[in-house]
Structure 1
Amino acid sequence: MQAHADHGAVQQRQFARLRQLLSDVVPANGFYARKYADLPPVALDVRTPTDLTCLPFTTKAELAADQADHPPYGTNLTNPPESYSRLHQTSGTTTGRPLRWLDTPASWNCLLTCWETNFSLMKLAREDRVFFPFSFGPFLGFWTAFEAASRVGMLTLPGGGMPTTARLRFLLDHEATVVCATPTYAQHLAEVAADEGIDLTSSSVRAIVVAGEPGGSVPGTRERIETAWCARVFDHYGMTEVGPVATECAENPDGMHVLEEDYIAEVVDPATGQPVAPGTDGELVVTNLGRTGSPLIRYRTGDIVRVDTEPCPCGRIWTRLAGGVRGRTDDMIHVRGNNVYPTAIEAVVRRFPEVREFRVIIDQTGPLSDLRIEVEPADAADGPRTADAVARAVRDVLLFRAAVTAVPPGTLPRFEMKARRVVRTPGERGTSVP
């Protein structure tokens, strides 16, 4: 991949691949054949970003409806059914039921190649030993990372089926240098290590690759993980539907480069769908160029990002998402005239190292929503003081008052995969009540 090439040349390659993708997909792919049926042929001759906007967005709701109407896999399949060899699915937190996703060997190879680029961005090498401390289930991200690490020659250490303490001993015994996990589980491993008297700061681990949640780019969360492990955090962004999209480079923390040789990224106004200016928050729209067997073209991710307007010290000119994923369009919390993303609340709560876990509860039973925060301190005796401090910080930083209460240590749930810390009452789509 030519990461240091002129960006105009990158765009030329992107649109050449997109035109090839469109010729492969239409009319072979039933989903896109129907979606593009009324477009003039010239609309598929995409050569510029302006041309791209002539193609309609693809949404998760469309995909969910297609799979419901054509079970079990829908019609976004470019090849005959016998061509597919991999099945994965989403968590189902947005649509209420998971999207099932199939890949051909060629599409799967493209995803692994993207992860090889990720490793290069993070300066991981074949000498590294990569530990995956959980069971993957049907989620795509860690399967691709695991297989790609093995393919480039890294020693891959699977940690599924073990209790947390055993996983910690396992990574120490095998001298792991890299840990791949969600930000939540990386913190949980550190908490258990502290309780068990295990010193992670003296381990061989030098890098923590986090994904599945936006916490890796939340300053307080990031600092907590790096301090506990004495290792560098690398944030990564991807989705089961589109694959591994963006990763932080070694030279510039707190932001992620889009892998623009394999993806076209747009940032649009969530309300109008029109492009926003660089440096402005907007919704990320992604087109994956190499996953021909199950492509997504102009896919609205629902994730809020901001394009960095400053050049990156690493020298790459790929689009960089400053501060990673800032929130989700469907996660915005509306409380008594205030709009706030859960990541903003996390950024405040994680300033307090004495808070081990937290939960946000949105009470929607009255005419106006109320927000309260439960914090779980490491020491029960510190609970009232900690709750008061968090409440003051929320008021001072986010400019609204929230009721903050302390709960006993060990009360709040822990998560290996994507954490669900926002609870709405009465329960709504996309929320979870443990």
Structure 2
Amino acid sequence: MDIVQGDMMSVKYWDEEIETLPREGLESIQLSRLKKLVARMYKTVVPYREKMEAAGVTPSDIKSLADLAKLPFTVKDDLRDNYPFGLFAVPMDEVVRVHASSGTTGKPTVVGYTQDDIVLWSNVMARALTCAGASKKDMIHNSYGYGLFTGGLGAHYGIERLGATVIPVSGGNTKRQITVMKDFGATVLLATPSYALNLAETMDAMGVDPATMPLRIGVFGAEPWSENMREEVEAKLNIKAVDIYGLSEVMGPGVAMECLQSERGMHISEDHFLPEIIDPVTGEVLPPGSEGELVFTTLTKEAFPIIRYRTRDISRLYYEKCACGRTLVRMEKVLGRTDDMLIIRGVNVFPSQVEHVLMSVDGVEPHYQIVVDRIGNLDTMSVQVEVSEDIFSDEIRKLEKLTQFIQREIKDLLGVSCKVQLVESKTIQRSEGKAKRVIDNRKI
């Protein structure tokens, strides 16, 4: 995939032919690749063959994209049950790299890559970065963690494929990161949104004005974040903040990327990753524009392809052509996750909904934590949120009034009562990766 010729700063596409292909052409590519994928998985990966046989499906049954719904889902337990390499589709001597999840909820999920997979991933990430407005001329500061987590190395190889200069700083040592960004003249920042806010706060403490730096774009992902947090990050870092989506089981970062023109989500590289939206309860495929659980089938991966993987991410798909000219389907910014969703007295609550309320209140800092408990048989939810020093040092009556206002706003939006505690700035522990937004003390 060659980048469009011409002035590098005005490039819109990494692979214009694919990114602007009419729907019929995209679907033809998808169907051809899907048929080959299912046949190969049936032949080479025993657990997939067993699941297909149990569902009464064979590769010859896949005659149209609609037939994808005949295939069984893959869930995270399938990966854990076949830990570590039981779902790989190539011999281990063809695997050049493995990554794994943190394993905080059980055995880690392990994924593998052939050399061709690494090339594919690099191109997908280069496409994503171009979509975000980056080019060969950029100095890109990569604060995603390196190691078994896919973020750091996935982004790194994409930056190099793009031809830009990568600063492979990884996470942690925040003051040093700011010095490096300033001295090296970083123009693009890759990080989790919560760490971006941590950087902004530390810059302020160090007396560094982001407006004096050449930084212009922030590519943020790996955790859900609200539109209000986007505005907060943009204001504090003086940048344009764009959303990137990926997950280890599907590829890593670069599965979808927000363009500078889109007002309705991130473009999915659907020539490689075939998306569906399903009802998370029934598994039924939902029509375009419906809110539901995002499901992916990888069409081109060699070492670790996956069929109908239930991401647990809640989103929507939009198929209209974007203002940027891309025809690639867009996924709405992730609302939350079905497995992160809190059920409080029968009400579904996503942390991002709470964040949306908090970030719309003047004087509230972008650092909060939700604590869920069970007293007797009753679930309770409390929210600790930092406020600015001026507000925290204000008179008690004003603090009480602000507390009550936030409680009402949360109740009005979510339909659930909660206790709000205003705390002093810098009270809540900072994150150098994914922020821990929820502490659930219930024994469920």
Provide TM-score, normalisation by structure 1: 0.91
Q: State whether structure 2 residue 164 is matched by structure 1 residue 154.
A: yes
Q: Which runs of 5+ in 2 are unaligned?
A: 1-14
Per the alignment, residue 221 of structure 2 pairs with: 211
Distance 1:131-1:315 versus aligned 2 partners, 3 A rule? same
Deviates more, 1:370-379 or 1:259-268: 370-379
Could you report, residue by residue, the CA deviation over 1:45-76 in whole angstroms, capped at 9, with x for unpaired residues?
52323211111111111211121xxxxx1311
Within-5 A mapping of 1:236-255: 236-243=244-251, 244-253=254-263, 255=265
Could you report, residue by residue, the CA deviation over 1:8-49 in whole angstroms, capped at 9, with x for unpaired residues?
210110111111222333322233233334566754452323
Within-5 A mapping of 1:110-149: 110-133=120-143, 135-149=145-159
Q: Which runs of 5+ in 1 are unaligned?
A: 68-72, 429-434
Distance 2:75 2:171 in 1: 35
Distance 2:46 2:431 in 1: 38
Distance 1:17-1:142 versus aligned 2 partners, 3 A rule? same
Per the alignment, residue 335 of structure 2 pairs with: 326
Distance 2:60 2:336 in 1: 32
Per the alignment, residue 227 of structure 1 pairs with: 235
Equivalent position to 2:99, from 65, 71, 88 = 88
* Displacement after TM superposition at 1:269 (Å): 0.3
Could you report, residue by residue, the CA deviation over 1:48-105 in whole angstroms, capped at 9, with x for unpaired residues?
23211111111111211121xxxxx131111111211111111334x43321222111
Letter in 2 for 1:205: L
Equivalent position to 1:343, from 342, 347, 352 = 352
Letter in 2 for 1:341: F
Within-5 A mapping of 1:154-303: 154-160=164-170, 163-215=173-225, 218-243=226-251, 244-253=254-263, 255-303=265-313
* Displacement after TM superposition at 1:326 (Å): 0.9
Letter in 2 for 1:422: V
* Displacement after TM superposition at 1:109 (Å): 1.6
**Any idea what SS the aligned residue of 2:141 has?**
strand
Distance 1:66 1:419 in 2: 29
Distance 1:295 1:279 in 2: 27
Deviates more, 1:243-252 or 1:32-41: 32-41
Deviates more, 1:249-258 or 1:387-396: 387-396
Q: State whether structure 2 residue 416 is matched by structure 1 residue 387.
A: no
Distance 1:372 1:9 in 2: 51
**Residue pair 2:200, 2:236 contacting (<8 A) in 1 also:** yes
* Equivalent residue pairs, number: 419
Deviates more, 1:349-358 or 1:281-290: 349-358
Could you report, residue by residue, the CA deviation over 1:331-375 in whole angstroms, capped at 9, with x for unpaired residues?
222223432211111111122353241000111243121111011
Q: State whether structure 2 residue 18 is matched by structure 1 residue 5.
A: no
Deviates more, 1:175-184 or 1:22-31: 22-31
Deviates more, 1:329-338 or 1:243-252: 329-338
Distance 1:268-1:83 versus aligned 2 partners, 3 A rule? same
Deviates more, 1:333-342 or 1:260-269: 333-342
Provide TM-score, normalisation by structure 2: 0.89
Q: Percent identity?
A: 31
Letter in 2 for 1:423: I
**Any idea what SS the aligned residue of 2:43 has?**
coil
**Residue pair 2:31, 2:64 contacting (<8 A) in 1 also:** yes
Equivalent position to 1:49, from 48, 56, 65 = 65
**Any idea what SS the aligned residue of 2:303 has?**
coil
